[in-house]
A and B are shown apart, each in its own frame.
Chain A
């Protein structure tokens, strides 16, 4: 099983109306890896993830997860993956325990297992006092913790994460990153989408930079560094995905500030 790829994309294209969002993506991911999937806004990151988790049906090309074609065997795929959406959508009139039991029901996991797992995981995140509180009173960080637990409560083989650290404080973020590393050690695959370059740089085994619906770079951080002769992922990223006009924009920005100094007091 270990030499079988866990995710494959073959010439994946997707259009919304006349706008082509993905322009032919080819990708093979082996299990036990943390894949950083990065790109500017609108590059097609979320679209790729949505296709891989079976949320979007209309696309061209082929996508498989855990050996199953996403188009034809989406249920098999969904059973083996976890998803943490960027939108932080959650039924917040429920308590975390109710929410997780609900998801457990949908995955068909035994209720006793779900409850004990949920209690333990939430407590480890410091939510042991909030197990029976409605999530509408939760802060963004608390919701994010519930979402992360919800993504792995059924022990999936592949985890798709869209900005999983948003809203978490530094300590929780360190914990979560450590959890990701351990998950990879036991053979789980993590598909990590983010805008925070230094996290991706440190956490991911392999980084894929998406630009305009196409893969602009693919490799470990070391490989990318050697290829592009830049020190940080941030520099590599801007070099590959923009015209390098950031300096100009910044100075124009400051200029705008000093143009007409008027005060209404």
Chain B
């Protein structure tokens, strides 16, 4: 794929040379940048030369192609080509724009360039051209995999002329999106501090993930498919203000009736992005690189960080730590993990994404049952569908425990082994307690509140049972997963293999719990059923407590010296756990 992209650029080599770009160096930079894109996310641990690790980018392209099926269906679903293609381009714009914002600072503008490429004899124009070409190729690959299916479907419906038409419109869409993305970046960097801005990027990444994985679940539900088939755009002025409509106009011009409106739209579609790209290159790009340079300077002066609020949360967490445990070491680790969970952007990214699926699954489940049962809301209130809601948190919890052990700064976890930790289980227990207070309890509270809003107070015993069973699931997962200190392992893609089976088993257990709960309510008469549920809840809490105690009681025997890479092996001696000297004192 890289070779193909370079080949296409080779065709334009004379043009590049004409504007003063050193094409050889341009090609060298572009090639290495693309090669790195395809390796990103593939972990170094799987350095197996025979088995090529699937890179994150390749995976992304694959997922996008899958999403592309749903994008493509818009063409078939809509009656008029203009409407269908407007939908397609709108989705492309959203997805590509999101990807642009989410990946820009990490992939497309690598601050290491400052130290690696800048000191080498490459002139500014060549470097800028390579950068722009890299961004364009990156986005082009993304949008191609997104629209691959649209190409196929569109050609089937409109004939071969669709291919060049759609291709051209795709180019306009990308050009326009890059422009909007740049404006967003520039504006955000003017208005926000670097830290704040990184947070904003994180939220974009979350939204992007949700769109990719949740979008195709929600989309068909909120859209009236039947109305789409007969809908055509009215001939009004506002149609000309919709950017996706412009690109769709191009295709309409080629394969549709090609009326005056299509001509006008196509004109706008070509002129606006061209102007935008010119604007970006001329006026925005220069100041842009400089502003991005700020991101290279990782360490901002400490005084810039909001000190006041940190002190206050510090006191709050210290109080909380005193409540959750009597053991000083557990309290200490609790405080540490609490702050790490709250501040580690990577961890937050993974957690928020995970739990953002809760509302999505909730909406899907409830709307499914609304459709299935005639009678709408009243019937819903009579049903026992709240059980679905209550067990969603249960479903998501195991994965979050898995994530707790990963961190980019996993090496910093040496402290657990270097400190005189009497009972390493304290560190494990502290981690689970942080997750419980920061994530499970609030999530469950929200879900419970919504469920009570719909179904009323009669479900309180069910809430208790569901929560108790969730706690069991958490404890089982923690025990089963193998014991790892919080934030102590490297994030690796390769981890997947053995885990899929386990997480499936966890889902199964979760299902069995939910099913048993439902059975209790269905087969027992109401009052006895509630009492049984209450008793069950008490038992569940007891079992969860028991399992958790086993977990918290883990000794050093569960922590063999870590399996270190070859070159650090000699530090084994330092890393070996300190055995408590209880007899001495």
Q: Which residues in A have some Cβ–Cβ distance to B below 8 Å? A: 53-55, 75-76, 78-79, 81, 83, 85, 87, 89-91, 93-94, 98, 102-103, 105-108, 132-134, 136-139, 141-142, 264-265
Known contacts being A93-B40, A137-B47, is A75 close to B118, with CB within 8 Å? no
Asked if A98 contacts B121 (CB within 8 A), the reply is no
**A98 touching B47 in the complex, CB below 8 Å, given contacts A137-B565, A142-B567:** no
A-B contact pairs, 9 of them (CB 8 A): A54-B119, A55-B114, A76-B121, A85-B115, A90-B112, A93-B40, A98-B32, A134-B44, A137-B565
| Complex interface: chain B residues within 8 A of A142 (CB) | 567
A98-B32, A106-B29, A139-B567 are known contacts. Are A89 and B116 too (CB-CB below 8 A)? yes
Do residues B112 and A91 form an inter-chain contact, with CB atoms below 8 A? yes
Which of A94, A106, A133 contacts B36 (CB under 8 A)? A94
Let me know if B122 and A264 touch, CB within 8 A: no
- Bound-state CA distance A83–B36 (Å) is 22
Are A137's CB and B116's CB within 8 A?
A: no
Give chain B nearest CB distance to A223 CB in angstroms: 32
In the assembled complex, how far is the CB of residue B229 from the closest CB belonging to chain A, in whole angstroms?
Answer: 48
Chain A's closest residue to B122 (CB) is: A106
16 more CB-based (< 8 A) A-B contacts, given A91-B32, A103-B116: A54-B119, A55-B114, A75-B121, A78-B122, A85-B115, A89-B114, A90-B112, A90-B116, A93-B36, A94-B32, A94-B35, A94-B39, A108-B24, A108-B25, A132-B49, A137-B44
Report yes or no: B121 in contact with A133, Cβ–Cβ below 8 A: no
Q: Which residues of B contact A106 (CB under 8 A)?
A: 25, 28-29, 117, 120-122
Q: How far is the CA of A138 from the CA of B566 in the complex (A)?
A: 10
Nearest Cβ on chain B to A83's Cβ, whole angstroms: 4
Q: CB-nearest residue of chain B relative to A134?
A: B44
Residues of A within 8 A of B122 (CB): 78, 106
**Minimum Cβ distance to chain A for residue B350 (Å):** 20
The yes or no answer to B328 lying at the interface (CB within 8 A) is: yes
Over the window 24-49 of chain B, the binary record of Cβ atoms lying under 8 Å from chain A Cβ atoms (1 yes, 0 no) is 11001100100110011010110101
Complex: A259 Cα to B190 Cα, angstroms? 47
A108–B39 Cα distance when bound, in Å, is 25
User: Does B371 count as interface, using CB distance less than 8 angstroms?
Assistant: no
Contact of A93 among B28, B39, B568 (CB under 8 A): B39
CA distance A133 to B121 in the complex (A): 27
Partner of B44, one of A76, A107, A136: A136
Q: Mark B95-126, 1 if CB is under 8 A from A, else 0.
A: 00000000000000000101111111111000
Contacts of A93 in B (CB 8 A): 36, 39-40, 42
Give the complex CA separation of A137 and B25 in angstroms. 28
Q: How far is the CA of A53 from the CA of B122 in the complex (A)?
A: 12
Q: Which residues of B contact A54 (CB under 8 A)?
A: 118-119
Inter-chain contact A83/B28, CB cutoff 8 Å: no
> What's the nearest-Cβ distance from chain B to residue A80, in Å?
9
One of A78, A83, A102, A108 near B32 (C-beta < 8 A): A102
Min CB gap B321→A, angstroms: 12
Interface pair B119/A83, CB less than 8 Å apart: yes
Nearest Cβ distance between residue B228 and chain A, in whole angstroms?
44
Q: Which size class do B's interface residues fall under? A: 20 to 34
Task: Report chain B residues within 8 Å CB of A138.
Answer: 567
CA distance A136 to B40 in the complex (A): 11
Are B121 and A78 touching (Cβ within 8 A)?
yes
Chain A residues, Cβ within 8 Å of B35: 94, 98
Which residue in chain B gives the minimum CB-CB distance to A160? B119
Query: With A79-B121, A134-B44 in contact, is A264–B328 under 8 Å at CB?
Result: yes
CB-CB under 8 A for A139 and B568, given A91-B112, A103-B120, A105-B24:
yes
Residue of A whose beta carbon sits closest to that of B43: A136
Query: Which of A76, A91, A265 gathers the greatest number of chain B CB atoms within 10 Å?
Result: A91
Min C-beta distance of B148 to chain A, whole Å: 26
Sort A-B residue pairs by CB-CB distance and give the 5 closest, nearest first: A105-B28, A89-B115, A136-B44, A78-B121, A89-B112
Q: Is the CB of A107 within 8 A of B120?
A: yes
- Chain A residues near B45 (CB, 8 Å)? 137
Q: Which residue of A lies closest to B42 (CB)?
A: A93
CA distance A61 to B40 in the complex (A): 43
Please indicate the chain A residues that have their CB under 8 angstroms from the CB of B47 in the complex: 133-134, 137
Residues of B within 8 A of A89 (CB): 112, 114-116
A134 contact set on B, CB distance < 8 A: 39, 44, 47
Q: Which of B28, B47, B115, B568 has the most A CB atoms < 10 Å from its CB?
A: B115
Measured CB to CB, the nearest residue on chain A to B40 is A93
**B567: which A residues are within 8 A, CB to CB?**
138-139, 141-142
Chain A proximity of B160: nearest CB distance (Å): 40
Closest CB-CB distance, B471 to chain A, in whole Å? 30
What sequence of 0s and 1s flags, for each residue 544-571 of chain B, a beta carbon within 8 Å of any chain A beta carbon?
A: 0000000000000000000001011000
Q: Determine the chain B residues whose CB is within 8 A of the CB of A55 once the complex forms.
A: 114, 118-119
Q: Are A102's CB and B28's CB within 8 A?
A: yes
B333 to chain A, nearest CB (A): 13
Given contacts A106-B28, A133-B47, contact A91 B116 (CB under 8 A): yes
> With the chains together, A76 CA to B42 CA distance in Å?
38
Q: How close is B437's CB to chain A, nearest CB, in angstroms?
A: 23
A54 CA to B119 CA, complexed, in Å: 7
- The residue of chain A having its C-beta at the shortest distance from the C-beta of B45 within the complex is A137
A109 to chain B, nearest CB (A): 11
Q: In the assembled complex, which residues on chain A have CB atoms less than 8 Å from the CB atom of B39?
A: 93-94, 134
Q: How far is the CB of A67 from chain B (nearest CB, A)?
A: 16
CA distance A139 to B567 in the complex (A): 7
Q: Which residues of chain B come closer than 8 Å to A85, judged between CB atoms?
A: 115, 119
- Closest beta carbon of chain B to A216's beta carbon, Å: 26
Chain B residues, CB < 8 A from A78: 119-122
Q: A87 and B115 in contact (CB under 8 A), knowing A106-B25, A139-B567? A: yes
- State how many angstroms separate the Cβ of A130 from the closest Cβ of chain B: 10
| CA A107 to CA B25, docked complex, whole Å | 8
Q: Which residues of A contact B49 (CB under 8 A)?
A: 132
Bound form: Cα–Cα A103–B121 in Å = 10
Chain A min CB distance to B451 (Å) = 43
Q: Least Cβ distance of B414 to chain A in Å?
A: 15
Across the interface, do A53 and B565 meet the contact criterion of CB distance under 8 Å?
no
Instruction: Report the minimum CB–CB distance from A42 to chain B (whole Å).
Output: 12
Digitize B460-475: 1 where CB-to-A-CB distance is under 8 Å, 0 elsewhere. 0000000000000000
Q: How far is the CA of A55 from the CA of B29 in the complex (A)?
A: 18
Instruction: Find the residue from B112, B121, B568 having the highest chain A CB count within 10 A.
Output: B121
A102 to B117: give the CA distance in the assembly, Å. 10
Look across to chain B and name the residue whose beta carbon is closest to the beta carbon of A264. Answer: B328
CB nearest neighbor in B for A53: B119
Please, which residues of chain B bring their CB within 8 A of the CB of A53?
A: 119
B117 neighbours in A (Cβ, 8 Å): 106
Per the bound structure, the CA–CA distance linking A265 and B419 in Å amounts to 13
